[in-house]
Homo-oligomer: A and B are copies of this chain.
Amino acid sequence: MEYDIPQATGIDGLTWTPKKVISDARGAVMHMLKEGQFDFPVGEIYFSLVKPGVVKGWKLHKEMWQRFAVPLGRVQFVFVDQRTQSKSKDKVVSLSVGPENFGVITGPPGVWYSFKNTVDGDALIVNAPSIAFKPHESVTEDLETFRFHDWQ
């Protein structure tokens, strides 16, 4: 496994970067980002604690890039590319991530996403997007919009 090298996912601009975890009997240290690997600024840092079985989405950001990491539980993210000019238009990508395959999902603006906690316990998503929240920068759609029911 090569760490810190972004992997293509099938959607243009959406990448998955494996990150190293250092574990011992006392716990684990998981590195999300560091100086020199910031492809864009950190606009804010926030956490989403997601209860078992909960699905959230769809959401689309007009300007904001996302950087998601999941240090607790397991979360399935689904991304749908509806960008008219995209090389990967109409592509759907599903990524299931947690501490066992720790890394960072980088998602571009303009791509719809939703996510589900697929484990019995709580899951935690850490997001370090490129800009801070601002009103009207994101749009939402009902979960049925893309009729994606293939949750794990």
Contacts and interface: CB of A to CB of B under 8 A. Distances in A.
A51 B27 contact: yes
Interface stretch (A1-9, A83-91, A128-136): A128-136
Interface stretch (A10-18, A41-49, A106-114, A139-147): A41-49
Interface of A: 25-36, 42-51, 54, 56, 69, 71-72, 99, 117, 122, 124, 126, 128, 131-133
5 contacts: A27-B48, A34-B46, A35-B131, A42-B45, A124-B124
Given A71-B124, A132-B35, A132-B36, A30 B49 contact: yes
Contacts of A128: 42, 45
Nearest to A117: B27
Contacts of A117: 27
A68 to B, nearest CB: 12
A126 B117 CA distance: 20
Contacts of A69: 47
CB-CB nearest 7 A-B residue pairs: A34-B44, A35-B132, A34-B132, A32-B45, A27-B49, A26-B54, A28-B49
Given A29-B47, A29-B48, A42-B128, 8 more contacts: A27-B49, A27-B54, A27-B122, A29-B49, A31-B45, A34-B132, A45-B126, A71-B124
A133 B45 contact: no
A54 to B, nearest CB: 4
